[in-house]
Structure 1
Amino acid sequence: MHYNKEKIMLKYTKTNHIKVCYNKMRLSAFLCFTVISMALTESVNIKSLVFSAETDTSYVEMVPQKPLAIKAFTLCMRVATELKGEREVILFAYRTPSSDELNVWRELNGRLSLYLSGDPVMFDVPQLGALETHLCVTWDSSSGATTLFMDGKKSLTKIYRKGHAISPSGRVVLGQDLDSFQGGFDIKQSFVGEICDVNMWDSVLSDSNIQDIFSGKRVPRGNVFDWEITELQIHGEVDVVKREL
């Protein structure tokens, strides 16, 4: 039987070229998957703030990465406190010269509340305690939809402050409630406990993104506050410890 050697060589070359390309594609896909997996599971060392005692002098001011002129947000933090039902506790305070623009509280009765320049919306949820809780609050002006997440679990949706806008040029403080733009702190409203990983976006994140943040996966960082790079100005007796997230 007669064979055309040139055709056989061409066929052999094409076949091997296809195999080489296929193997390269498999290797490339494997490496890509490995890099993504490592990125998703990579641990990060972050600062954690410990407020050991009631004071009217200890607080941490956060410097935003962009002005808080926003009509939607997602605010997340990790928090632990042993002040159970003894008094109200401020968790996050943002104030402009004219008003309290955005406050998050643990109320005296244990409910968690969000204040946007007026009366609050409240959520009846499990009490905060010594075991760390991952807490997120979301709000959208266009619909008024407001929700709360605790350790990745979503609350019911409440309608609050539809059409409202949050104003810029304010101060964001952890540990104290700003009764005035300069301060005016009340010792019986101060935060006592540990707080860290405070991040804020000027949009409402999806439920799955919030659940990923709770579980420690790497997601796009906050564009208003990114805890890993946000400047923190420490005042008074606040201990800063390093921890792995």
Structure 2
Amino acid sequence: CLAGNVTAGFLVISGIKSSTFPSFYFPVENIESFVNVHPLHDMSLQAFTFCFWTKAQHAGSQTVLSYSTQERDNELVLTVGTDVGLWIGGHFISFPLYHKAQDWLHYCMAWASWSGTASLWLNGAVGKAKSIQKGYVSQAGGTLVLGKDRDTLLGTFSNGFAGWMTHVNLWSQVLSPADIRALALCKPGQLKGDIIAWGETPMTLLGGVVLEPDTSCQ
């Protein structure tokens, strides 16, 4: 059974064995749904790899992860849709997407400050790298959410995610190509992020996010 604590409409996910951890379903009709993430380490990042599976229910730009600080809404934001958008420290780049967003897709975005190189991996294949924010280090002490951006939380509700999201992991380093391919191929004994570890990092589900069986690797 799914373990969790329900208080005042919040569902805090904890104590679920990661092998049976469900996916998150963000209902299309509920524009207020998002997930608060309590990262395992602070978000002062000189590099990262962010990997996840999604099955989106519409093709417009949808926020998967949003990290905002008091100084900046778009400290680290990743969106999916007709393309994949990446914000780092208020700067933006986008990557074309040649797959139907309605299918389960495995994404990994990797970035390193020392080179400023960002690379998008889709279903285990890497695309053309782009340059953003060379030498930048993201600020700690912000708010990390799945499924919405900060503007949304303030009441505008733009770029909300609708559909399924699972195996969300965030590392403070660039993963090797072999590790990224293993994640996309659903190989057993998968790596877990050191900042977001799927099935282990505390998360609070708000606004009608639903737990559903994970079908991403079937």
What TM-score, normalized by structure 2, do the two folds share? 0.84
Give the aligned partner of residue 61 of structure 1: 36
Larger helix proportion of the pair: 1
**Structure 1: any 5+ residue segments left out of the alignment?**
1-42
Distance 1:147 1:211 in 2: 14
Q: Identify the match of residue 221 of structure 1 among 167, 192, 202.
A: 192
Q: Identify the match of residue 170 of structure 2 among 200, 222, 232.
A: 200
Distance 1:118 1:111 in 2: 18
Distance 1:106 1:93 in 2: 12
User: Once structures 1 and 2 are overlaid, which stretch shifts more, 120-129 or 167-176?
Assistant: 120-129
Report percent identity of matched pairs: 25
What TM-score, normalized by structure 1, do the two folds share? 0.75
Q: Identify the match of residue 88 of structure 1 among 61, 68, 81.
A: 61
Q: Do the aligned residues in 1 keep the contact of 2:89 with 2:133 (CA within 8 Å)?
A: no
Deviation at 1:187, TM superposition (A): 3.0
Q: Do the aligned residues in 1 keep the contact of 2:64 with 2:78 (CA within 8 Å)?
A: yes
Q: Do the aligned residues in 2 keep the contact of 1:80 with 1:128 (CA within 8 Å)?
A: no
**Structure 2: any 5+ residue segments left out of the alignment?**
1-17
Q: Do the aligned residues in 1 keep the contact of 2:57 with 2:101 (CA within 8 Å)?
A: yes
**Distance change >3 Å, CA 67–CA 188, structure 1 → 2:** closer
Q: Do the aligned residues in 2 keep the contact of 1:176 with 1:186 (CA within 8 Å)?
A: no
1:71 has 2:46 as partner: yes
**Distance change >3 Å, CA 117–CA 55, structure 1 → 2:** farther
1:243 has 2:210 as partner: no
Q: Give the secondary structure class of the aligned counterpart of 2:214.
A: strand
1:111 has 2:83 as partner: yes
After superposition, where does 1:30-69 map in structure 2 within 5 Å? 44-69=19-44
Deviation at 1:57, TM superposition (A): 2.0
**Distance change >3 Å, CA 159–CA 146, structure 1 → 2:** same
**Structure of greater Rg:** 1
User: Structure 1, residues 156-215: CA drift from partner, whole Å, max 9, x if none?
Assistant: 1112110001111111111211128xx214334211111011001100001110000111
Give the letter for the 1:80 counterpart.
K
Distance 1:61 1:132 in 2: 23
Deviation at 1:46, TM superposition (A): 1.7
Give the aligned partner of residue 40 of structure 1: none
Larger strand proportion of the pair: 2
User: Once structures 1 and 2 are overlaid, which stretch shifts more, 212-221 or 89-98?
Assistant: 212-221
**Distance change >3 Å, CA 241–CA 73, structure 1 → 2:** same
Q: How many residues end up aligned between the 2 structures?
A: 197
Deviation at 1:243, TM superposition (A): 2.9
Deviation at 1:128, TM superposition (A): 4.5
1:101 has 2:72 as partner: no
Give the letter for the 1:101 counterpart.
E
Deviation at 1:106, TM superposition (A): 2.6
Q: Give the secondary structure class of the aligned counterpart of 2:213.
A: strand
